[in-house]
Structure 1
Amino acid sequence: MSQTQNIIAEIVTFRLTEGSDPQAFVAAARAIEPMLHAGGHTLSRTLSRDADGLWTDHIIWTSAEAAKAMAEKIMSAPDAAPMMQMIDPEGVVMRHAEIFHLQE
Structure 2
Amino acid sequence: MTTTAEIVTFRLKPDTDTAAFVKTAQGLMPFLTGTGDMIARTLSCDADGLWTDHITWTSRTAADAAAKAMFERPEAGPFMALIEPADMVMRHAVVHLRPD
- For the aligned pair, the TM-score class normalised by the smaller chain equals over 0.9
SS in 1 for 2:71: helix
One of 79, 93, 100 as aligned partner of 2:96: 100
One-letter code aligned to 2:88 = V
Distance across 2 between alignment mates of 1:33 and 1:26:
11
Instruction: Provide the alpha-carbon RMSD of the alignment.
Output: 1.0
Matches within 5 A, 1:1-104: 6-104=2-100
Distance across 1 between alignment mates of 2:73 and 2:83:
15
Percent of aligned pairs with the same amino acid: 48
Distance across 1 between alignment mates of 2:4 and 2:65:
13
**TM-score normalized by the length of structure 2:** 0.95
Unaligned 5+ segments in structure 2 are none
SS in 1 for 2:36: coil
8 Å Cα contact 2:40/2:56 also seen in 1: yes
Aligned residues: 100
**Could you report, residue by residue, the CA deviation over 1:18-57 in whole angstroms, capped at 9, with x for unpaired residues?**
1111110100000010000112100000000000000000
**TM-score normalized by the length of structure 1:** 0.92
Per the TM alignment, residue 100 of structure 1 is displaced from its structure 2 partner at its CA by 0.8
8 Å Cα contact 2:35/2:66 also seen in 1: no
8 Å Cα contact 2:6/2:63 also seen in 1: yes
8 Å Cα contact 2:6/2:90 also seen in 1: yes
